[in-house]
């Protein structure tokens, strides 16, 4: 993968909840076509936002408990976490500027 950090139940607290910066979390799956369309945007944002925000990816097939915990019903679903709490949520493939705008609103 690229600059986005793969997250599961083992490292979720450390990577997402305890992060000192806003975190964009992409809930995705290997078989999901729209997720694959969103992947280059998410990876690109991970590089662009390095040091100011963190970008993580959660494979819902490998981390079903996390998907259930945040009521992820369809993918791709993007969450923005700040100070250990979800502060924004986006569902579906959104244009890069819209995602960036939402992250920047929480920085």
CB atoms under 10 Å from CB of 85, counted, come to 8
Among 32, 78, 100, 103, the one annotated catalytic = 32
Among 35, 42, 67, 99, the one annotated catalytic = 35
56 catalytically annotated: no
32 catalytically annotated: yes
Q: CB of 81 within 8 A of CB of 72? A: no
- Give the contacts of 84 (CB within 8 A, at least 6 positions apart): 16, 17, 18
- Give the contacts of 73 (CB within 8 A, at least 6 positions apart): none
Rounded to whole angstroms, what are the CA distances from 38 to 12, 35, 91? 21, 5, 11
Q: Which residues are catalytic?
A: 32, 35
């Amino acid at each position: 993968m690229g600059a986005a950090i793969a997250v599961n139940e083992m490292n979720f607290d450390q990577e997402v909840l305890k992060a000192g910066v806003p975190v964009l979390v992409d809930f995705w799956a290997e078989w999901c076509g729209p997720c694959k369309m969103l992947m280059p945007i998410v990876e690109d944002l991970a590089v662009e936002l390095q040091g100011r925000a963190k970008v993580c990816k959660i494979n819902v097939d490998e981390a079903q408990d996390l998907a259930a915990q945040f009521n992820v019903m369809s993918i791709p679903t993007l969450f923005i976490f700040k100070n250990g709490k979800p502060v924004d949520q986006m569902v579906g493939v959104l244009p890069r500027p819209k995602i960036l705008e939402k992250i920047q609103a929480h920085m």
